[in-house]
Each structure stands twice: as C-alpha cells, then as structure tokens.
Amino acid sequence: MLRTESIDHGIREAQRAAEADEIPVVMSGDGLIGQVGGALADTDAAMGIIPGGRGNDLARVLGIPSDPAGAVRVLAAGNIKEIDVGEANGRRFLGIASCGFDSDANRIANEARIMRGNLVYAYAAVRALLAWRPATFTVTLDEKEPISFKGYSVAAANSRAFGGGMFCAPNAELDDGMLDVITVSQVGKLRYIRGVPKAFKGTHLQNDEVDEYRAATVDIKADRDFGVYADGEHLTDLPATLRVLRNALRVIAPPGPLVGPPT
C-alpha cells in the first residue's frame, strides 16, 4: 500500500504498477479514481476500486460495496467490466461533467473539507443557491442545431450519479458510447431546492424544467464564465467540448447490471 501525495503522484504510481503487470487499486474518492482511470484508459490495465471518499459515486453505480472488506471481496473475485471514459476539452473523467449552478456547488463542497457524505452536498447546494443568478446556455448535440435556454445547469453524464448519491442521469449506461445530457431551465429558487431531493431517486426528470438528451459529442457555451467539474474535480472551463472514449477502461466490479436510484 502506498499513500499518495497528490493526484499526479497517484497517477504516476498507478501507471508504474500497470507497466509492471500489476493491478493498481485505488482507495480514495471519485476525484483520484476518475483521474487514475482516465490515465489508464486505452491500456490493458485493469483498475481496482476501494471506496474511500465522501461521494463514492462510481463505486455506488458499479455495485462495489462501501465497506473495505466487501470491496476487497470484489477484487478477489476478479470480474472485469469495460466502461466508457469521458473527455472534457481533453481532460478525462468517469462520472458526470457539469457546469453552471453545479460549478458553484462543487467549488463550495470542495472548500468544505470537514464535512462528509450527503451533508456537504446539501450545504453546498444551499450556499450556491443563495448567490445564484440565471445563466444562458447553448448546447450542441452531435453537431445538430444548437439548443439555447436560460436556467441553472448542463450535465453530461457518462455514469448515473454524482454528489454523494444524486442520480442526476438515472438512465445513463457506462458502456454505451453515449453521454446522457441533463439540462435544468429557469424556475424559482424555492421550486429548484424542492427538486433537489428528487435527484436522489432520479424522479427529478419528471419536472418540466428538466430535459434529457443523449449524444456522443456535446458542445457547451454560456453567457458567463463557468468551470466544468467532474468526479468532484475542476477539469476545465467553458466553452467545452465533451466526448466519449468507448469501453476504454477495464475495472474490477461485480457482474450484473449497474445500480440505479433507490425505489
């Protein structure tokens, strides 16, 4: 076991292990897992995961137990899945890349180091909402006619969940070569915050202000500056082009379908 000093250090050590025909196992949160997974994409290496962060959303969707003993049993079983890897302006991610209101909430959550689990994301959402003003987004899906709207956010989902169990894109698949694109148009702040708990069950898609699309390539612009966050990390800034590297990463995970929102 090696304690990493930074994300870059973790990536280097994982690559070194892969080059030595070893299996790099990442015990961390989605940030380090996402960056190591991106670095190992398009190689023959398989990556193991032991959830060790605040959100653990990729492990949740893959069905990897949150307790270390259960995660180790999955590693010992050795079942391998091939999953897609997303790219935002060339920066790779495994989960959901989002911008707009989500950019502000992610930044606040990352600054709140002493909180854990869903509490930090709820806190970040409330803090971000107090200062929020609507933005105008332009989204182009697979080079079709652009979609423009005024509202809160755009999310391009490779996986189903982010934010510690919020199933932003409950229909997303990790191996279909597509991004599920979720947009949230303008509504009052009270209605928006009332809709946040629905995301934990994936029922927010029923709201009129929420739209769902699918595309292999997504271009996003906005009328003011926003960072693009994925796996809890700041990847790049708008304007951004997002695409999918299909079945580019091998991960050790339980067999069977992906885990969806609780019923």
- The CATH number of the domain holding residue 102 is 2.60.200.40
Tens of pLDDT, residues 136-195: 999 999 999 999 999 999 999 999 999 889 999 999 999 999 999 999 999 999 999 899
CA angle 55, 232, 105 (to 5 degrees): 95
Residue 260 lies inside a defined structural domain of this protein = no
Q: How far apart are CA 126 and CA 225, in angstroms?
A: 21
pLDDT over 70 at 114, yes or no: no
Regarding whether 61 and 103 lie in a shared domain, the answer is no
Confidence at residue 154, expressed as pLDDT on a 0 to 100 scale: 98
For residue 239, is pLDDT > 80? yes
- 104/193 same-domain check: yes
Question: Which residue in 180, 243, 178 sits closest to 213, CA to CA?
Answer: 180
> What pLDDT does 77 receive?
97
Q: In this structure, what token pair is assigned to residue 218?
A: 């997504």
Domain presence at residue 160: yes
The verdict on 103 and 192 lying in the same domain is: yes
Asked if residue 143 and residue 49 are part of one domain, the reply reads no
The pLDDT tens digits of the residues spanning 202-218 come to 999 999 999 999 999 99
In a domain? residue 46: yes
Amino acid at 240: A
pLDDT digits (tens, 9 = 90+) for 125-144: 888 999 999 999 999 999 99
Domain around 80:
7-84+248-252
Q: How high is the pLDDT of residue 118?
A: 60
Instruction: Measure the CA–CA gap between 101 and 104, rounded to whole angstroms.
Output: 5
Q: Are residues 234 and 134 in the same domain?
A: yes
Does residue 258 belong to any structural domain of this protein? no
User: In this structure, are 121 and 197 located in the same domain?
Assistant: yes
Same domain as 96, residue 47: no
Q: In this structure, what CATH number is given to the domain that contains residue 26?
A: 3.40.50.10330
34-53 confidence digits (pLDDT tens): 999 999 999 999 999 999 99
Whether residue 121 has pLDDT greater than 80: no
pTM for the model = 0.94
What pLDDT is attached to residue 109? 81
Same-domain check for residues 110 and 211: yes
CA–CA distance, 156 with 203 (Å, rounded to integer):
18
Specify whether 51 is located in the same domain as 104.
no
pLDDT confidence bin for 117, thresholds 50/70/90: low
Where are the strands (E) in 89-193, listed by range? 91-93, 96-100, 135-141, 147-157, 179-185
Residue 261 inside a domain? The answer is: no
Number of domains in the chain: 2
- Inform me whether the pLDDT recorded for 106 exceeds 90: no
Distance between CA atoms of residues 180 and 113, nearest Å: 30
Confirm whether 263 is domain-assigned.
no
99 domain residue, yes or no: yes
Token pair 């893959």 in the structure block, residue: 62
Mean pLDDT of the chain: 94
CA angle 77, 83, 89 (to 5 degrees): 145
58 and 154 part of one domain? no
Residue 197 lies inside a defined structural domain of this protein: yes
Question: Which position has the higher pLDDT, 82 or 164?
Answer: 82
Rg (CA), the chain: 17
Q: What is the mean pLDDT of residues 82-111?
A: 94
Q: Three-state DSSP class for 151? A: strand
Same-domain check for residues 20 and 46:
yes
Q: What is the pLDDT, as a whole number, of residue 1?
A: 76
Q: Are residues 119 and 19 in the same domain?
A: no
Identify the pLDDT of residue 3.
Answer: 87
Q: How far apart are CA 29 and CA 14, in angstroms?
A: 15
